[in-house]
Amino acid sequence: MSQDPNARSGPGFNRRDFIKGSGAAIAATAAVTAAQEAIAQDAPAKISTAGPHKVTLQVNGKTHELMLEPRVVLLDALRNDLNLTSCKEVCDRSACGACTVLIDGKPIYACTRLAIECQGQKIETTESLANGDGVDVVIDKFVEHDGMQCGFCTPGFAMAVRGFCNMHPKASKEDCRKGLGGNICRCGTYDGVLNAAYEAAQKGGA
């Protein structure tokens, strides 16, 4: 007895269903391929090369035009290209705060921020805390309270304090303690830094 090849004998596929399904799959594949080709044709205009690009940075009130590869982090641009060596590389992974600088008045870790991302923003390093003959109140308070030990942590702490005071003038001591939680001092000079931060905060933002 001959059997209709398209007859459905159960819940599974018959041959017609299979051929219809295959046709749909082929059509879908063709559509995807066409879309990929369209993307590929657009691609050259959108891809940036990894070679050096002109990057304009505003640092401590001055505009600098640098040629930097897109992979260069802000910390390296500041230290290697602008000779601003107050920001330090210690952990290189957003864990210690030694590389802290201000961007638009807020503390950030320069070791994990791409320089190219910082164009059009106001960048400040610890060097900015010395202005002409005077120094920022943060430096005065660090000296007064002996808030420094080694040269690796102190500059980052100073910028963290300056950024904290900008954002939280008149902060309480407890708020200062929490606000400085992103910086580590391995020698334990926290109390001095805390007292300096508290007194600087009472003077308000920069």
Rounded least distance, CB 167 to ligand FES, Å: 19
Contacts of 159 (CB under 8 A, 6+ apart): 87, 100, 101, 102, 107, 124, 125, 126, 129
Rounded least distance, CB 193 to ligand FES, Å: 8
Distance, in Å, from the CA atom of 119 to the CA atom of 167, rounded to the nearest integer, reads 22
One symbol per residue from 51 to 80: x for binding ligand FES (CB under 6 A), - otherwise; what is it?
------------------------------
CA dihedral angle for residue 200, residue 111, residue 50, residue 59, rounded to 10 degrees = 20
State the residue for tokens 């640092």: 59
Binds ligand FES by CB under 6 A, chosen from 73, 79, 101, 109? 109
Stretch that binds ligand FES, among 22-30, 64-72, 183-191, 194-202 (CB under 6 A): 183-191
Stretch that binds ligand FES, among 3-11, 46-54, 151-159, 165-173 (CB under 6 A): 151-159
Number of H helices and E strands in the chain, helices first, is: 6, 7
CA-wise closest residue to 162 among 128, 123, 205:
205
Binds ligand FES by CB under 6 A, chosen from 186, 191, 202, 204? 186
Q: Which residues bind ligand FES (CB under 6 A)?
A: 89-92, 94-99, 109, 111, 149-150, 152-154, 185-187, 189
